[in-house]
């Protein structure tokens, strides 16, 4: 019995040692594609890479949803995160709308994590999203936005959570 237990312990030790080399680390990688190898760092904290083009279905389709004390809306925004797909025509239209905004709030580094569902501090200036932009993206009515370097970040009006990230919008 002692020999059997020792054998199981040896197999487990070998398995734990070899397993990380046999699997690809997907833990914590959101569907929007936070990949530090392919994305410049636009987040103030060095611990997390910026998320690629992504959006929240809840943030896009339910802009009137209010945050509750338990953080249900913030959780729903984060859980409904997925990759943002825009065709070249939409990207061009977004660039034109943003270029026409003379007083668009712009910062070089975000003092928040550039991820869907991340909280945007009150000190960070945002502006109401242009109606043309809501039409192009088919949602986000009444929300706000800011530019982080050349990325468009759409912020939920009630929870101040990131609901969309559009790279190279400027």
Structural domain contains residue 22:
no
pLDDT in tens, 92-150: 999 999 999 989 999 999 999 999 999 999 999 999 999 999 999 999 998 999 999 99
Q: How many CB atoms lie within 10 A of CB 46?
A: 7
Q: What is the pLDDT of residue 123?
A: 95
* 160 found inside a domain: yes
Q: Is residue 17 part of a domain?
A: no
Express each pLDDT in 55-108 by its tens digit: 988 888 876 666 666 677 888 888 889 999 899 999 999 999 999 998 999 999
Between 159 and 35, name the one with better pLDDT: 159
130 assigned to some structural domain: yes
Top-confidence residue, 120 or 4: 120
For residue 21, pLDDT over 60 is answered with: yes
pLDDT value, residue 69: 63
The pLDDT, as a whole number, for residue 144 is 95
Residue 79 inside a domain? The answer is: yes
Would 39 be classed as within a structural domain?
A: yes
In a domain, 66, yes or no: yes
**Domain assignment of residue 150, given as a range:** 31-166
pLDDT at residue 121 in the model: 95
Number of domains in the chain: 1
Is 133 inside any structural domain? yes
3-state secondary structure of 132: helix
Which is more confident, 125 or 47? 125
For the stretch 104-107, contacts whose Cβ atoms lie closer than 8 Å and that sit 24 or more positions apart, written own/partner, are 104/145, 104/146, 104/147, 105/145, 105/146, 105/147, 106/146, 106/147, 106/148, 107/146, 107/147, 107/148
Model pTM score: 0.70
């Amino acid at each position: 019995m002692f020999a059997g237990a020792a054998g199981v312990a040896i197999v487990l030790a070998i398995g734990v040692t070899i397993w990380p080399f046999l699997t690809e680390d997907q833990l914590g990688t959101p569907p929007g594609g936070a990949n530090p190898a392919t994305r410049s760092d636009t987040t103030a904290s060095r611990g997390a890479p910026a998320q690629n083009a992504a959006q929240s279905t809840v943030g896009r389709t339910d802009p009137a949803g209010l945050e509750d004390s338990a953080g249900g809306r913030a959780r729903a925004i984060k859980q409904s995160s997925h990759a943002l797909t825009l065709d070249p025509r939409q990207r061009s239209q977004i660039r034109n709308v943003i270029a026409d905004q003379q007083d668009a709030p712009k910062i070089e580094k975000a003092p928040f994590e550039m991820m869907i569902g991340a909280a945007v501090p009150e000190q960070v200036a945002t502006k109401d999203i242009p109606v043309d932009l809501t039409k192009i993206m088919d949602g986000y009515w009444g929300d706000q936005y800011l530019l982080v370097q050349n990325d468009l970040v759409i912020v939920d009006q009630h929870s101040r959570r990131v609901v969309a990230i559009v790279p190279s919008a400027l």
